Structure 1
Amino acid sequence: MSRFILPTTAFRRLVGLFVLALAIPSAYAAPVRFLLTFDDGPSLWSSQPTARILAQLADNPVTPGIKAIFFVQTEHESHGGSTEGEALIRAECWAGHRVGVHAGTVEGHIPHTELPSPELARSLQTGRAHLLALCDNVSSLIRPPDWLFDDRTAAVYRSLGMEMLLADVRAFDGKIYGWYASLRRRSNITNELERVRDAIAAGRMPVVDGVTPVVVGFHDTNPYTASHMSEYLQILVEEAAAVGLPLADPPFYTNGRALEHAARLRGERDSYARTEWPTP
């Protein structure tokens, strides 16, 4: 007797839909829209990771014209502190993306928790002023280097009218030790999306303008990410369906103003799917 074996992806999708339906009636489940973010750039490497990512966001088979937020190192000479880096930041703005401060010190990627409050505040003001001098599409959002923050650094952000934005889904592409490939990129994203699904079911994810913004974190300094950005977009869409997450149309933000609005509400509410404040 022959048996029908449900394909793994289809089975996972049915399980995901069942889990979501247990907590959220389908009529009230807002579809997901991915909100892409990139850290650490702009990159001046000869392989031009930042420029290649910009090209793929603009032209890809999933959603042409995707807009993203780039959290940049504004003062480091190998990033935004050079003429070439400034040109890339302008290119991001001209393409309709938003730029925000990641690090505003000449030393670059220093955790904010290691900076005294006055120095941290000065660096963020310097970084924001630098961005405003380059373009109009400057975000009030900030993402701390290495995601290291505490009550003190959060208070500094708020005192400057800035809000922190972390991410719900991480590509885990930020650590580069001479190895740029990602052998588990699909399974990593699947695991992250399953946590998002559970957070939606628990009512921890806010709805903005009829969709559930899901913040995704990449690094535009990673050559592997730059070479496979279009594939990452496809993986996000495929794995969202596989775990039972309904997708908006389009599944990625294509309007810069809508992107910033959704991101700001996420930052103001501190409603992250899986992020907890670090223990002292």
Structure 2
Amino acid sequence: MFRFLFAFCLCAARVVHADPAAAPIPPVRFILTFDDGPSLWRSAPTARIVQQLQDNPVTPNIKAVFFVQTAHPAHGGSPAGQALERQSCQQGHLLGVHSGSPRGHIPHPLMSPEELLQSLQQGIRDIEAQCGTQAGVVRPPDWEFNDSTLATYRQAGLAMLQTDVSANDGKIYGWNISLRRRSHMHDALAVVLRAWQAGKLPVVEGVTPVIAAFHDVNPYTATHMTEYLQILVEESKNVGLPLDATPFYTNTEQLRAATLARANGPGYVCDGASRSVTLRERLFGPPEAMTKGCLP
């Protein structure tokens, strides 16, 4: 049977699984994640998001996980991109591997195991060169993975982190405004609520980490990140999902422990609409592996 778990050390973090028969289940705290950056567009979307995470009326000084393209010349493969990576780390954010290849955003199943391993190892080296450390996690471009890529992640010493809730903001060209962002978040959080009530989500250091995915290359997301934070909090309340007094992570090491716990945990909340859909999936359907790793 396909195994989605990775062996790892939680670095002294205490991880338990919520018992649905025991009350109360610890409240939720969101792990914010961002894909595809760092962005060098003229509108400076990555820098704008970093600024809003630091200074917002919901939870100041939020720490997030950025999955970066470390070698692409339009992203982390340039001095300006590397400066953005350093800035993110200096403010307490974590950097994970999205791609370490100069080819950039290539779905991992389309790469040979040898090329993928080289890309992952290069990504790790690039992040450590800018930050001194890296998050220990990888998120595959377009969310696509299979048994072979999972084996290569393990070989590189990385765990895969997907998401429970996605803003569906992966489109960055043309029409990238979400007219359903509030209703979409409401529906996705309602599914999270059912998993939380059933005790299916792991508990880490007294809270239930729930992963939310965005794209820091999307200029609309960058302009409206503070509103997205408000929507997550407000729609959690509207569906009855209890949030911790600090609804987003503000401590880097707590974020690291929660991120690793979820990457090596039982799976993710999958509602069929909680992630972006690629053109290839629209034409040929989602890969079978995309349903693996979902919580039952």
TM-score by length of 2: 0.84
Instruction: State the distance in 1 between where 2:268 and 2:176 align.
Output: 28
Give distance in 2, aligned partners of 1:155 and 1:253.
30
Retained in 2: the 8 A contact 1:220–1:226? yes
Is 1:31 matched up with 2:40?
Answer: no
Q: Which residue of structure 1 aligns with residue 251 of structure 2?
A: 255
Distance, in Å, in 1 between the alignment partners of 2:271 and 2:257 is: 21
Q: What whole-Å deviation, never above 9, does each CA across 1:176-197 have from its counterpart, x for those lacking one?
A: 3311211001011111101111
CA-based RMSD: 1.7
Q: CA deviation at 1:25?
A: 6.4
User: Is 2:110 the partner of 1:114?
Assistant: yes
Unaligned runs of 5+ in 2: 1-18, 273-285, 290-296
Amino acid of the structure 2 residue aligned with 1:226: A
The reply to whether residue 188 of structure 1 matches residue 188 of structure 2 is no
Secondary structure (helix, strand or coil) at the match of 1:183 reads coil
Distance 1:265 1:232 in 2: 25
Partner Cα separation in structure 2 for residue 31 and residue 246 of structure 1: 5
- SS of 1:27's partner is coil
In our comparison, the structure showing a higher alpha carbon Rg is 1
Number of matched residues?
A: 258
Checking the alignment, whether the CA contact within 8 Å between 2:39 and 2:45 is kept in structure 1 is: yes
What CA distance in whole angstroms lies between the structure 1 residues aligned with 2:172 and 2:219? 10
- For the pair 1:48 / 2:57, whether they are aligned, the reply is no
Question: Higher helix share goes to which structure?
Answer: 1
CA offsets 1:48-107 (integer angstroms, 9 cap, x no match): 000000000000000000000000000000000001000000000000000011011101
Q: Which amino acid aligns with 2:228?
A: Y
Q: What per-residue deviation string (whole Å, max 9, x for no partner) do you get for residues 229-278 of structure 1?
A: 00000000000011111110200000011001001011112421228994
Q: Indicate whether 1:65 and 2:74 are aligned.
A: no
* Contact 2:32–2:213 (Cα < 8 Å) also in 1: yes
The answer to whether the 8 Å contact 2:191/2:271 transfers is no
In structure 1, C-alpha distance between the alignment counterparts of 2:27 and 2:132, rounded to whole Å: 30
- Residues 274 and 56 from structure 1, CA distance in 2 versus in 1: closer, same or farther, beyond 3 angstroms? same
| 1:147 partnered with 2:156 | no
Other structure's SS at 2:228 match:
helix
Contact 1:190 1:243 in 2 (8 A): yes
CA contact (8 A) 2:94 2:256 kept: yes
Q: Does 1:264 align with 2:273?
A: no
Matches within 5 A, 1:104-253: 104-253=100-249
CA distance in 1, matches of 2:126, 2:59: 31
Quick one: distance in 1 between partners of 2:111 and 2:133?
27
Which residue in the other structure is 1:3 paired with?
Answer: none
Tell me the amino acid that sits aligned with residue 214 of structure 2.
Answer: F
Contact preservation (8 Å) 1:41, 1:50: yes
Structure 1, unaligned runs of 5 or more? 1-22
Identity %: 55
Using the TM superposition, give the Cα deviation of residue 279 of structure 1 relative to its aligned residue in structure 2, in angstroms: 1.2
Structure 1's consecutive aligned runs of 4 or more residues displaced over 2 angstroms after TM superposition are 23-28, 275-278
